[in-house]
Amino acid sequence: MKDTRLTINAELRADEPVDPETADNTDSTQTTATDTTDPDKTTQPDDSKGKTLSGYAVVFNSPSKDLGGFVEVVSPKAFDGVDLSNVLMLSNHNYSEVLASVKAGTLKLEVDDKGLHFDATLPNTSFANDVYEEVSSGNVDSASFSFAVADDGDTFTKDDSGNVTRTINQVKSLFDVSVVAVPAYDDTNVAVDSRSYEKFIGKNTKADKEENKKMTEKTIIDNKPEETETRSFENYIRSEGEQRDGLTTENNQAVVPSEVVTPIFEYKQNEANLGQFATVKTVSAGSGTYPISTNSNAVLATKDELATIADVDAGMTGVDYKVATRAGKIFISQEIADDSEVPIVSEVQGQLQKLVNNTDNTNIVALLKKATKSAITGVDDIKKAFNVDLDPALNKMIITNQGGYNYLDTLKDSEGRYMLQTDPTAPTGSALLGAPIVVVPSTLLPDETDGSFPLFVGDLSQYLAIFKRNQVTSNWTQFDSYSCGLAVVIRNDYEVIDDKAMVYLTLAPASAATPAK
C-alpha cells in the first residue's frame, strides 16, 4: 500500500541561484544583484542556473497528529537500505508537475540524524517558479512524502494511558517527496488511504474518534494471532512446560511460534550465517528430489514448423534430499523464568539463532571441503581460479576464516597499497578482485594442519542447497541436576548442487613475504 504523510516541520528554504564565477562573500540568499555597469540598475539572478529548495521531507521520531486512534513516528533507521535512485520531487504529489529528480541529478536526498533532507534545483517552468515564490513568501512551508512500508516494517504499541503509536521501522520504497500546501489535506494533515486505521475501521468523523480508538486497539493490537501465540509460548516457558493453552503441539511437543523462528530461517538477522548465501528451499516432505536451476550453458534449439521441440539441457538438476532431525538445548535459568520483566522469548530466540548459525555453518563448511582442493601461494593463484577454474557467469565470493581474512586485509601491492577494496554489500565490508569476502569464525573453520588458511572461492548459491522445514518443536526439560530449559528439534538437510561452482584453496602464510601484483 502507498502511504502519504505530511511533514509540517519541513524547514523549507528557497534560495536564489548563485553564479560560482561571480559569487563573493555576500549572502547567497540575496534576492537581487547590482549591475556594476549601471548604478541605477538592478538585475535578477539568472534563472537558467536553477533556483533551489531545501528542507526535510521526513523528520524522525516526530509524532504525527491523530490518524484515527493512533499517532505515527518514523524510526531513524527506516530508510536503511532503501533505494533512493528513482525518487522524484513533485508539487502536491502531482506527477505532471515534476520539480526535480534524483536520476537527473537535480534532487539530492540525504539521511542525517534529524531526518530525510533534500536539496532540489528547480527547472525554469511556470509551475516551478510558482512553487518557488510560494515558499519564498512563506505561504507554503510544508513537505510531504509517499512511501510503502516493508513487510513487517511497522509496529504498534500502547502505553499505560492507552495511547497507540505506530512506528515505521522499515520503508520498502520511497516514491516521491513533495512541496505541499496544508489546506490540500484534511484536519489530520494526512492523505488517508486504505492502510490507515481510520479507513480500515470505516469511521471518519470526529464524533467517532473515541470509538475508533477502542476498535483500533481491539482489532489491530489485541487480536494479532502471532502475538497471542507468542504470549502463550512465553507462558509455557515460565510455567516450565505446564501451561500449553494457545500453543500448537506435535507429538506432545510445543511448536515454537512462527513469529520467533521466521526471522531466523529467513536470515533477516544472521549476518554470520553462510546459509544466507546458499540456495534455500522449504520442503513439506521429509525426503524427495527437488529440481533446482543450475549455471547452465543451455541454448534454445532451432525448431522447424510442425517439428517436435528438440531436447536441450534446460539448466535444471534434481537434488535428492532427506531432512535430518537435529536437537539442541536452550538453557533458561530459574531467575529468568521468574522475572516477568525479562523478555524471555527474545532470550530463547537469541539462543536458537546461535544454534541455527552454528549448525548451518558447520554443515556448509563440511560440504565446502568436498570441493576441488589445491594449494596456492598468492593472489595470482586466486585470479587463476576466478579466470580459469570457475565459470565466468558465477557470482563469485570468497569465504575464509579469521586468520585468512586478516592475511588478505594486510596484503599490499608492489607500490605498498592495500589490495582489498571497500564493498558495503559484503558482510566484512571488503572485497578482493571484486568478490565480496565472508568470514567464518576460526572455531568453525580452523586453519589447515600445515598452518595455511582455507579459502573457498565461487558461487555458494550454485554450489549448495539447504532443505528446511520451518517448524521447530520444543519441550521443557530438566537437563541435569542444576540446569533446565528447552530441548529444541530442527529438521533440515544440506546437499551439493554443482560441485564445479566452488574451489577449495589453501593459502600458505609464507607467501606474505612476496608483494602481490
> What is the distance between the alpha carbons of residues 12 and 54, in angstroms, rounded to a whole number?
6
Please, what are the domains in the chain?
A: 3-16+51-198 (no CATH), 249-288+322-517 (3.90.1690.10)
Beta strands in 239-343 (DSSP E): 249-250, 253-255, 279-282, 287-293, 316-322, 324-331
Cα–Cα distance between 397 and 277 in angstroms, integer?
A: 9
What is d(CA 122, CA 100) in angstroms, rounded to the nearest whole number? 6
Which pLDDT does position 222 carry in this prediction? 45
409 CB contacts (<8 Å, ≥6 apart)? 418, 420, 430
Nearest to 73 by CA among 152, 2, 164: 164
Query: If phi over 0 gives left and psi between -120 and 50 gives alpha, with beta otherwise, what is residue 515?
Result: beta
Annotate 16-47 with three-state secondary structure: CCCCCCCCCCCCCCCCCEECCCCCCCEECCCH
- Interior/surface letters 44-78, b for 16+ CB within 10 angstroms, e for the rest: ebeeeebbbbbbbbbbbebebebbbbbbbebbeeb
Q: What is the pLDDT of residue 117?
A: 93
pTM for this predicted structure:
0.52
Per the structure block, which three cell numbers stand in for 110? 540525504
Tens-of-pLDDT digits for all 517 residues of the chain?
566 766 766 777 877 665 545 544 444 433 333 343 344 443 444 444 578 999 998 989 888 777 667 788 899 999 999 999 989 999 888 877 899 999 999 999 999 999 999 999 999 998 899 999 988 888 888 888 888 888 778 888 888 787 888 899 999 999 889 888 753 333 323 333 334 444 333 444 454 455 545 444 444 444 444 457 888 888 888 888 888 888 888 877 888 887 787 777 765 444 567 888 888 888 777 788 877 766 555 555 555 665 655 554 555 678 888 888 889 888 888 777 777 777 888 888 888 888 888 888 889 999 999 998 989 888 888 889 999 988 888 889 999 999 999 998 888 887 888 888 888 777 778 888 888 999 988 888 899 988 899 999 999 988 999 988 777 888 888 887 778 888 888 888 999 988 899 999 998 865 443 444 4
The per-residue pLDDT for 32 is: 36
* Residue type, position 430, single letter: S
The rounded distance, in Å, linking the Cα atoms of 170 and 33 is: 46
Q: How far is residue 210 from each of residues 55, 194, 217, 223, measured CA to CA in Å?
A: 35, 20, 11, 19
Q: By the 8 A CB rule, do 45 and 59 touch? A: no
Q: Residue 254: its pLDDT value, please?
A: 86
Give the pLDDT confidence score for residue 84 in this predicted structure.
93
Distance of CA 98 to the CA centre of its chain: 29
Question: Could you tell me the CA-to-CA distances from 42 to 31, 35, 37, 45 in Å, in that order?
Answer: 11, 6, 10, 10
* C-beta separation of 291 from 318 below 8 A: yes
Cell of 273: 550465517
Nearest to residue 62, comparing CAs of 13, 103, 8?
Answer: 8
First to last CA, the chain: 52
